Structure 1
Amino acid sequence: MSRLVHDGPLIIGGGLAGLSAALSAAPRPVLVISPAPLLEAASSAWAQGGVAAALSADDAPSLHLKDTEAAGAGLVDHGAAKALTADGRATVEWLASLGAPFDRDASGDFAVSLEAAHSRARVARVGGDGAGRAILSALVASARAADHVTVWEGARLRTLIQDATGRVVGAAIEKDDDLIEVIAPAVVLATGGAGGLFGRTTTPVALKGEGLGLAWAAGAEILDPEFVQFHPTAIDVGLDPMPLATEALRGDGARLIDAGGRYLLGPEPDADLKARDIVARAVHAAVAEERGAFLDARAAIGEHFPQAFPAVFAACMAVGLDPRLSPIPVAPAAHYHMGGIVADPDGRTTLPGLFAVGECAATGVHGANRLASNSLLEAAAFGRRTGHAAAAETSRQRGIVRSGPMIDDLPPEALAELRAAMSADCGVVRDAAGLTRLVALIDRLEAAHGAPPALVAARLIAEAALARRESRGGHYRSDHPATAPSPTHTRLRRDLAVVQAAA
């Protein structure tokens, strides 16, 4: 193994969070590791809704904060969420300054849309449903032009490196069939979520929680891994991953119906704009009962569909479905992981030298249920803060350097079995029998294939879901449907069993 000593942050991940951190670390030299070419296999590039921020005269960060805390079902960290929502407008303006082409109103200000569980229209969009890719494209161009940023595309994190004190001092990176030990004063994990662990997902299937698994193996604290958000309107046409039908469609009046044309959540105009967990369970029930679930945009969007929501329109037309003429078949799918590596708004984890940002991190801003379009805001806002903080780190390596477990892939048949079981037994509706069956499967796969970080991440999610005997936010237990009177967090460390502590 060769060694490279890098005098600046080593950032693992080239999505919105990772590139926001990279750009904000200037003038320190930054090395960004991306397993795929930039813009590919990043969840942020697939995001359709936009960036939530208080941008209108009738809105305020305090209102955004209130909505965020209400959605999070008692587990939102007030200080972190206040920092996030206070930075909303500045973050959108920063993204726009880099070239993100946000939709504008007649006066030139940011055009905003309404999404579920928001009390105000506050989602800044791009071309209706193209926000993620357009925003990330602007950051990719800025990163490629930045003198202080070097990007290794087609390179992959294999393990973290720690010194004798436990400080993270670098990572082993596989590049061009070589293994390179990169020593750096700060390592930033921006590795994305864990949607690829589920057979029904809207995220890139390559995102399997491996950063989460490696951080846990290194001794970092993990927060609330059981909380997975299932998007209620993934387009159900047999594709993997499932195309997404953005929530903004319902914000513009599209309705959820069954095969008989009956409303799934009631006839009230705002019935389909409840929190995502409520809507997802209604869609799940309709599918499970074989009534079917469909998103009907014929009246609300109609002939404007190609211009208003070009990404969704293209996804439908690619499978021979014209949403101007027919309702869109939908089903819930794993969409976002609220849990993750414990990190503060500056990305600092419980391990010195290790930072985490974006979906792999758990800063507390999402609690038990993420408010729509807060994820892109968090990635950019906290990505900027993390870049500043990581750039301030200096080399402090002490003693013997040791490497953790190498990332190995599960064989394809084992991964397929795991993904099917995660969706079946750790999906929208969970119970002890299914979760126990899932943990037994993970035990069997581990006995056969060892403990690759993806399997570690699946175990963290499944065992925490089994331990949480209540229903809260994105975690619903049919055998424990009530919400406990006092909210508690799940905190996990390698040297501890599942521990629940007061929120």
Structure 2
Amino acid sequence: MKRIYDVVIVGSGAAGLTAALKLAPHMRVAVLSKGEMSGGSTRWAQGGIAAVLEATDSIQSHIDDTLVAGAGLCGEEAVRFVVERGRDAISSLINLGVEFDKASGLTHEDGYDYHLTREGGHSHRRIIHAADATGQAVQKTLNERVLNEPHIDVYENHVAIDVITNRHLEKPGTYNDQAHGVYVLNMDKNRVETFSARATILATGGAARVYLYSSNPDASTGDGIAMAWRAGCRVTNMEFNQFHPTCLYHPDAKTFLITEAMRGEGAVLRGKDGNRFMLDYDERAELAPRDIVARAIDSEMKRTGAENMWLDITHKDADFVISHFPNIYRHCLSLGIDITKDQIPVVPAAHYTCGGVHIGLNARTDLDRLYAIGECAHTGLHGANRMASNSLLECLVMGNAAADDIINRDDMPSPATVRHWDESMVTDSDEEVVVSHNWKELRRFMWDYVGIVRTDKRLARAKRRVDLLANEIHEYYGNFRVTADLLELRNLVTVADLIVRSAQMRKESRGLHYTADYPDLLDKPVETTLIPFGRAISDQIA
């Protein structure tokens, strides 16, 4: 089965759907979703979207806060590019129908009457939100708009396999190397299909499921990063993996996040003895950047032998807590925890991939006609540590940037003739246990050896295991028909290798990368960029 579009977008979260809506008046667009349309990370974002929306705040203040959080590795041009477009991005969502929380009896000087909260690293209240389920509100609205757009076709249960490059063409010599679409596993039909396109956008999210404990949905397996790497694109800063400090610790709670906005509204962290401990680690206490808070919790757990720490907001008015955090209240209550009376058991969990596919501010990768946006991409906005609520903002801004670049290009020829997927030399697997076993092994040793605190010895152990798994999976992939589990495992192993190699290259502790062997900062901050073997890097990244 071969399908032809102007643009194929891999991923159905905020970044991908923003790009799709911008492109739709001009081109035919296919949106591919691994599972249901709302299955990605966007809908799980609780806190909100950071943007300068009131007169007491400023663009420069938001930029400065982001640069501080990024620990010297943010690209200032990228930070300014994204932050300056924040207000327009929020206005676009409001015009689409997203219902953000209003401020009771308050209108800001410049006319906005929305409630703004504050999160770690921010010097002002600038987080606009829809209760404690902002991502869900954004995803719902974007879904509705996309599904009613006649020039957009959505394909659910379609798992991307690889970017189609010149080597996949019937006549590869007629083009400079570029992207021509993607090969895709149609889960409903159990067959591989070809999506040919003039431009391809990767909007696949991050890779937090490479770790044993994660706040992300199961789909966050680094697909776009691995696909771009195999296609010949650079990746940057993969060692910076953000661990959210406060994931609910409960045997019946899988990957449930306790938003940072709760600490912004006064919640405090307590240890085994009931005492606050964050002031022992940072003068900003609970409002310190996430890497500091996550390491502090990890340290206290190891120091005291506790399985978790506790987040306490019981000193706030119960009506205030319930109205500001209704979803967290209901979910915790279903587990026997009344957050207005009980402290919340929490642990850190892998949350966000700050590195990714190297792109410019037009979202172009090193491979012509291949774009990357959202969490799978590296713009330079996050540096060594993502500041809270900048991620959805980046999705919106860079989704529009990619679409604008595609619309304005005059060098987009018709889709090339692509070879069909060849399964003539493979069979159905009779050893699926290999996939499930390797999946568990990978996530366990990444948590143990490449987690919140690293050492050279731990990284070396992880690298040996990654290499063994990579060889085994490569052999397996070459002999059996692809399945969704195999494709995700293949991508996770690739991403794990990129993370470990990047971490081994950084001989310092900076931002989210903390190593006991090199606890100090180097004088000059330098990005960690990995270049695929044998590929000349193009100059198309602006």
> TM above 0.5, one fold?
yes
TM-score normalized by the length of structure 2: 0.87
Q: Which of 109, 114, 117 in structure 2 is aligned with 1:110?
A: 114
Secondary structure in structure 2 of the residue aligned to 1:100: coil
Q: Per-residue deviation at 1:440? A: 1.2
Specify the code of the residue in structure 2 equivalent to 1:340: G
Specify the code of the residue in structure 1 equivalent to 2:179: V
Secondary structure in structure 2 of the residue aligned to 1:188: strand
Q: Which of 388, 393, 417 in structure 2 is aligned with 1:377?
A: 393
Q: Name the residue aligned to 2:464.
A: 440
Secondary structure in structure 1 of the residue aligned to 2:381: coil
Q: Per-residue deviation at 1:400? A: 7.7
After superposition, the C-alpha distances for 1:97-155 in whole angstroms (9 at most, x for unaligned) are 1111111223352221110110111000102x110000111111110111211101111
Q: Name the residue aligned to 1:463.
A: 501
Q: Which of 119, 141, 145 in structure 1 is aligned with 2:144?
A: 141
Farther-moved stretch of structure 1 (263-272 vs 351-360): 263-272
Q: Name the residue aligned to 2:491.
A: 453
Could you tell me how far apart the structure 2 residues matched to 1:420 and 1:179 are? 31
**Where does 1:251-330 land on structure 2 (aligned, <5 Å)?**
251-266=264-279, 270-289=284-303, 290-291=305-306, 292-300=308-316, 302-330=318-346
Specify the code of the residue in structure 1 equivalent to 2:31: V
| 1:364 counterpart = 2:383 | no
Q: 1:496 to 1:371 in 2, by over 3 A?
A: farther
Q: Name the residue aligned to 2:405.
A: 389
Q: Name the residue aligned to 2:369.
A: 353
Could you tell me how far apart the structure 2 residues matched to 1:368 and 1:115 are? 18
Could you tell me how far apart the structure 2 residues matched to 1:404 and 1:79 are? 44
Farther-moved stretch of structure 1 (447-456 vs 97-106): 447-456
Secondary structure in structure 2 of the residue aligned to 1:140: helix
Specify the code of the residue in structure 2 equivalent to 1:249: M
The runs of 5 or more residues in structure 2 that have no matched partner are 167-171, 478-489, 536-542
Could you tell me how far apart the structure 2 residues matched to 1:276 and 1:100 are? 27
Secondary structure in structure 1 of the residue aligned to 2:135: helix
The answer as to whether partners of 1:167 and 1:397 remain within 8 angstroms in 2 is: no
Q: Name the residue aligned to 1:501.
A: none
The answer as to whether partners of 2:194 and 2:420 remain within 8 angstroms in 1 is: no
Could you tell me how far apart the structure 2 residues matched to 1:44 and 1:10 are? 19
Q: Per-residue deviation at 1:384? A: 1.4
Q: Per-residue deviation at 1:388? A: 2.1
Farther-moved stretch of structure 1 (291-300 vs 222-231): 291-300
The answer as to whether partners of 1:88 and 1:381 remain within 8 angstroms in 2 is: yes
Could you tell me how far apart the structure 1 residues matched to 2:210 and 2:507 are? 22
Q: Percent identity?
A: 34
Could you tell me how far apart the structure 2 residues matched to 1:202 and 1:383 are? 24
The runs of 5 or more residues in structure 1 that have no matched partner are 498-503
Specify the code of the residue in structure 2 equivalent to 1:230: F
Q: Per-residue deviation at 1:433? A: 1.3
Could you tell me how far apart the structure 2 residues matched to 1:228 and 1:342 are? 16
| 1:15 counterpart = 2:10 | no
Could you tell me how far apart the structure 1 residues matched to 2:422 and 2:62 are? 40
The answer as to whether partners of 1:343 and 1:362 remain within 8 angstroms in 2 is: yes
| 1:183 counterpart = 2:229 | no
Specify the code of the residue in structure 2 equivalent to 1:78: E
**Where does 1:2-41 land on structure 2 (aligned, <5 Å)?**
2-6=1-5, 8-27=6-25, 28-40=27-39
The answer as to whether partners of 2:10 and 2:204 remain within 8 angstroms in 1 is: yes
Secondary structure in structure 2 of the residue aligned to 1:95: helix
**Where does 1:390-405 land on structure 2 (aligned, <5 Å)?**
390-393=406-409, 394-395=412-413
Secondary structure in structure 1 of the residue aligned to 2:180: strand
Could you tell me how far apart the structure 2 residues matched to 1:396 and 1:66 are? 44
The answer as to whether partners of 2:193 and 2:421 remain within 8 angstroms in 1 is: no
